[in-house]
Amino acid sequence: MKILAFESSAKAASVALCDGGFLLAQSYQNTGLTHSATLMKMAEDLLRNTNTKVTDLSLVAVAAGPGSFTGVRIGVAAAVGLAWGADLDICGVSTLEAMAHQVTDADTLICPVMDARRSQVYNALFRRREGEIERLCPDRALSLAELIEDARGRGLPCVLVGDGARLCYDAFLKAGVPVRLAHPALLFQTAWGVAQAALKGERKSPLELIPQYLRLSQAERERLARLRAE
């Protein structure tokens, strides 16, 4: 089953072509360039360079949040447009769950983290059992102190992965929670992780896919504040 996967939930952007669990090709950049100008070009180049036609694909997958509101929207729009035009199913996966697939260690607490601003992180906790990823809690937005206390109570050494990993690392050490960072090549979000999460994800029609932001955007918060003030 050939899967074309998109990841643009934060600063890094990537597109991957996978055959089941096997990575055929991946285009990745973490340069801060606008995803709207780079993501579809990356996908087009990847398909051309692998001599893959859109009709060869079985599924389109995308990181559907949480993450940057703009980044998630760009990735979802790209994936939905491609899937709709090619009459393909789509699978939107949790950005956090996708990152968990990048950690292969057993008997560790896999802790994907993204900087959510406003003194919070986006997080979920996972564990790998017999090669499979087990979810331990839902995706959430919480303070770093709350995350540290939850992780401490799990009684396992922790592996931090994601664009918020370095933000959290020193705080975990200071709190006495055993912790390490994921391998540098796998520290940030990747489309390969999205493809792996999609293998057991729910397939949908492109028009059924809804991004999962966890919080209101800044524009929506400001609008609500104005309405309350009025």
Question: Are the CB atoms for 163 and 189 separated by under 8 Å?
Answer: yes
The whole-number pLDDT of residue 216 equals 55
Average pLDDT, integer, range 65-72: 95
**222 has pLDDT over 50:** no
**CA neighbours within 13 Å on the CB side: how many for 7?**
34
- For every residue of 14-71, DSSP letters joined together read EEEEEETTEEEEEEEE-S---HHHHHHHHHHHHHHHTT--GGG-SEEEEE-SSS-HHH
Question: Are the CB atoms for 79 and 39 separated by under 8 Å?
Answer: no
If you average pLDDT over every residue of the chain, what do you get?
Answer: 93
**Long-range own/partner contacts, residues 45-51 (CB < 8 A, 24 or more apart):** 46/15, 46/16, 46/17, 47/4, 47/17, 49/25, 50/17, 50/24, 50/25
How many helices (H) and strands (E) would you count in the chain? 7, 12
The whole-number pLDDT of residue 104 equals 92
Residues in the chain: 230
Query: Which position has the token pair 């939850």?
Result: 150
Q: Write the DSSP symbol of residue 162.
A: S
Query: Which position has the token pair 């729009």?
Result: 77
The whole-number pLDDT of residue 226 equals 61
Whole-structure pTM value: 0.92
Q: Write the DSSP symbol of residue 214.
A: S
Q: Could you read off the pLDDT of 80-128 as tens digits, one per residue?
A: 999 999 999 999 999 999 999 999 998 899 999 999 988 899 999 999 9
Please tell me the distance from the alpha carbon of residue 209 to that of residue 59, in angstroms, as a whole number: 13
Instruction: Show the tokens assigned to 172.
Output: 């975990």
Instruction: Show the tokens assigned to 36.
Output: 């709207």
**218 has pLDDT over 60:** no
Buried b (16+ CB within 10 A) or exposed e, 95-131: bbbbbbbbbeeeebbbbbbbbbeeebbbbbbbbbeee
The whole-number pLDDT of residue 117 equals 87
Average pLDDT, integer, range 171-195: 96
Please tell me the distance from the alpha carbon of residue 94 to that of residue 139, in angstroms, as a whole number: 8
Higher pLDDT, 220 or 41: 41
**38 has pLDDT over 80:** yes
The whole-number pLDDT of residue 144 equals 96
